[in-house]
Amino acid sequence: MARFRLELLPWLAVTFLATWFAPRLGVEWPIGFLGGLLVVAVAAILGEVGRARATEARPETFDSRPADGVVPVVPLDGALGTVNAARPGLLAFRSIASVPPISLRLRSRVEGRPLKGRIGVFSVFVGRDRASWDDREIAEAYDSLERMGRWLEREAGRWSIALNVELIGTYFVADDPLEAEEVEIANALDPFETILDEADSDVKGIASASRAAAQLGFADLAALIDEVDPRVDHDATLWIIHLLRSGRSSAITADLFDYPGVGVALCYARESACSGPLAGLPYVDPVTLAHEMLHLFGAKDKYGTALKSFPADSVSSRDVMRLSRSRLGQLRVDPLTASEIGWLDGGDRRPEMKKTRHRP
């Protein structure tokens, strides 16, 4: 808005001069004034149209380094915390120094942008039901995140896509003090089938993460993201909320919660139709991580329907969005999913859909 006003200053000056000179030229002053306003309006419209066309014509740029299969753990600028006893390279957040953020630019929305460039992944570990994440479990979760990142870069390489995944080494861990909540079951309209699902599960998951964020001194999850996310400088950032419960993992859509410039996914320690206390040890599944991450970039579910329902040679049983295999190494990104996440450009880089053997 400030830029808009500054650009109009010269035209406002023209309006003033036209009003002042009009009587001296034998023109009624209202006519001169209105003529000046007309000039200002036309200039404003032409300026906005020009900016819109320039924005549309300017391609979005990404980090162009090719995928290298290495998923580094990178530091968070200004973060102070406690070293993870099971993996010293990780830091449990305690506070953040009052230093200027690295990134002042407004990132494009994750939803609708291609999965390309340098991607930063944050982790928030939320304890529930009087149970907390311990250092060893968090270290194992980072192992799964690295496996997910390596797999994504391998698949990006198959499609000749420049993609580099980096894990933020400072994580956020706190407990949600809520001990119990009602679970309402409803019919969920899946893309291909009607299934039983928990009503408002995404809302409850975000609320749980917000209560945990309050334990760390933030108003809610949105305040945590607003304060911390600018401390890194990636093409896009993802926030994975690791809930120490059973439940159905999901990618948070913008119609429920709007976190501009970032993607947010809820990942439960065990998959189940309804959320509830965790029975047994937590397991952060790299297949679930990859599946939800691709959702954030536009990939659609492809399970629950026959392969023949899709266009020929577009989806196989090994597509990650079908969830038909339990090992990430047995899954891949097939053409239809690749097109949804911005990896397929006119079919000129399409890998063959041949069957290959993969080690389990």
Indicate whether 29 pLDDT > 60: no
Structural contact between residues 293 and 303, judged by C-beta atoms closer than 8 angstroms: no
DSSP-derived secondary structure for 227-248: HHGGGS--SEEEEEEEEEEEE-
Chain-wide mean pLDDT for the chain? 81
Query: Residue 31 belongs to what domain range?
Result: 2-57
Q: What percent of the chain has pLDDT over 70?
A: 69
User: In this structure, is residue 100 part of a structural domain?
Assistant: yes
CA atoms within 13 A on the CB side of 282: 30
Q: Confirm whether pTM is higher than 0.95.
A: no
User: In this structure, is residue 360 part of a structural domain?
Assistant: no
User: In this structure, is residue 65 part of a structural domain?
Assistant: no
| Per-residue confidence (pLDDT) for residue 55, from 0 to 100 | 40
Indicate whether 34 pLDDT > 70: no
329 CB burial (10 A radius; 0-12, 13-18, 19+): middle
| Per-residue confidence (pLDDT) for residue 200, from 0 to 100 | 77
Segment of 63-72, 87-96, 173-182 carrying the highest mean pLDDT: 87-96
Tokens of 337: 């999913």
User: In this structure, is residue 295 part of a structural domain?
Assistant: yes
| Per-residue confidence (pLDDT) for residue 198, from 0 to 100 | 59
Which comes out higher in pLDDT, residue 50 or 282?
282
Indicate whether 264 pLDDT > 80: yes
User: In this structure, is residue 240 part of a structural domain?
Assistant: yes
Same domain? 34 vs 83: no
Same domain? 206 vs 138: yes
Same domain? 45 vs 79: no
| Per-residue confidence (pLDDT) for residue 25, from 0 to 100 | 59
pLDDT band at 41 (very low <50, low <70, confident <90, very high): low
Average pLDDT over residues 12-25: 59
Tens of pLDDT along 284-314?
Answer: 999 999 999 999 999 999 998 899 999 999 9
Lookup result for tokens 């996310």: 229
**Domain containing residue 238: CATH number:** 3.40.390
Indicate whether 23 pLDDT > 80: no
Tokens of 232: 């890194």
pLDDT band at 253 (very low <50, low <70, confident <90, very high): confident
Choose among 109, 116, 122: nearest CA to 152.
116
Indicate whether 110 pLDDT > 60: yes
Same domain? 42 vs 78: no
Indicate whether 247 pLDDT > 80: yes
Same domain? 29 vs 127: no
Same domain? 216 vs 312: yes
| Per-residue confidence (pLDDT) for residue 111, from 0 to 100 | 63
| Per-residue confidence (pLDDT) for residue 30, from 0 to 100 | 59
Same domain? 231 vs 317: yes
User: In this structure, is residue 309 part of a structural domain?
Assistant: yes
User: In this structure, is residue 147 part of a structural domain?
Assistant: yes
Q: Name which of 49-63, 170-184, 260-274, 282-296 the model is least confident about.
A: 49-63
| Per-residue confidence (pLDDT) for residue 343, from 0 to 100 | 95
pLDDT band at 274 (very low <50, low <70, confident <90, very high): confident
| Per-residue confidence (pLDDT) for residue 356, from 0 to 100 | 42
CA angle 73, 168, 67 (to 5 degrees): 60
Average pLDDT over residues 214-219: 96
Same domain? 235 vs 285: yes
pLDDT band at 339 (very low <50, low <70, confident <90, very high): very high
Helix (H, G, I), strand (E, B) or coil at 121: strand
Decide the pairing of beta strands 91-96 and 79-83. Answer: antiparallel
Same domain? 49 vs 140: no
Same domain? 193 vs 238: yes
Q: Give Dmax over CA atoms of the chain in angstroms.
A: 91
Which comes out higher in pLDDT, residue 129 or 258?
129
Indicate whether 153 pLDDT > 50: yes
Average pLDDT over residues 326-333: 94
Q: How far is residue 221's CA from residue 206's CA, in Å, rounded to a whole number? A: 7
Indicate whether 201 pLDDT > 90: no
Q: What residues does 257 pair with on adjacent strands?
A: none
Average pLDDT over residues 255-261: 73
Structural contact between residues 145 and 167, judged by C-beta atoms closer than 8 angstroms: yes
| Per-residue confidence (pLDDT) for residue 1, from 0 to 100 | 38
Indicate whether 84 pLDDT > 90: yes
Tokens of 149: 């990142």
Kindly report the number of other CB atoms within 10 A of residue 219's CB atom: 12
Q: How many domains does the chain have?
A: 2
User: In this structure, is residue 286 part of a structural domain?
Assistant: yes
Same domain? 79 vs 136: yes
Same domain? 32 vs 155: no
Kindly report the number of other CB atoms within 10 A of residue 44's CB atom: 14
